[in-house]
Every structure is written in structure tokens, then in C-alpha cells.
Amino acid sequence: MEKKYTNGDITVVWKPDVCAHSTLCWKGLHEVFNPKNRPWVDMKGAGTDAIIAQVDKCPSGALTWYRNDAGAQEPESTEVETIVEATPNGPLMIYGNIRVKDSAGNDTVRHKVTALCRCGSSGNKPYCDGTHKKIGFQD
């Protein structure tokens, strides 16, 4: 079930069923993302720019954000070369701007980092949801 957290400026959206448990969020910005707290997201823990920078690093798309005054919108695009990296025993990481068209016909613009399933067992294809660890994917 989707949850939303706001600081009045932006809203962070968390989709737990999409989370790949990369732990990047709480290792990168523990003042905001702390899985030991309830709620686990404290929007007062850091400034808006720091929260945006951290959320943009979420590889699965479980964490996204939008500006409250502009309604739901895509984050600003970045001027970076797109890099595709097959991680050992893990997902296909894509760094840069991409448009993902899934089998259901959804068209999603993604920025910064995206993790696509390489093991074939994700419950959230085409994105990685961390299942590769549970099944012991080797490649």
C-alpha cells in the first residue's frame, strides 16, 4: 500500500511492495529514512534538497517525490550520460534518463537510477524487487 510523507514543500511517496531493499535511503540519509522508527520517514530530518537528492537514488522506484505546489509531476531531468551496468548476481542498473514501457502498457519516465530485473523472478517486472537475493540468482 502506497504511503505519502510531506514537509509542506514536497511529498515523498513510498511503495513498499516495489522496494528492492537496496538500503540506500537509510544509509544515505538516516535522519529522514529510519526503518526502526514509526513512521519510518521523518520529513523534518533534513532539508528538501537533501531529501530529493536521496529519493532520486532509489533504484527500484519505491521512493518518488513531487512538489506540492505543482501537483504530481516528474522530477527534473538530469544531464547525464545513460549507463547500463549488469551488477553481479543482481539487477540491471541504469544510470540516467530513460523511458520504461512495461508489458501492461505503462509508460514511465525515470531519472538518475533504475534497477531492472535480470533474474526473471521479480514480482514487480520490469523492475527489480530484491527477489534475486531470495532465489540465489547467480550471473
- Interacting residues toward ligand FES by CB under 6 A: 90-91, 117-119, 121-122, 128-132
Q: Which helix (H) or strand (E) holds 134?
A: helix 131-134
Nearer to ligand FES among residue 46 and residue 117 (C-beta): 117
DSSP state of 69: G
Give least dist CB 96 to ligand FES, A.
19
Q: Which helix (H) or strand (E) holds 27?
A: helix 24-28
Nearer to ligand FES among residue 61 and residue 130 (C-beta): 130
Cell of 81: 550520460
Nearer to ligand FES among residue 48 and residue 121 (C-beta): 121
Give least dist CB 39 to ligand FES, A.
26
DSSP state of 54: H
Nearer to ligand FES among residue 49 and residue 85 (C-beta): 85
Give the residue from 10, 3, 11, 66 showing the smallest Cα distance to 40: 3
Taking the C-alpha atoms of residue 64 and residue 43, their distance in angstroms, rounded to an integer, is: 14
Give least dist CB 110 to ligand FES, A.
16
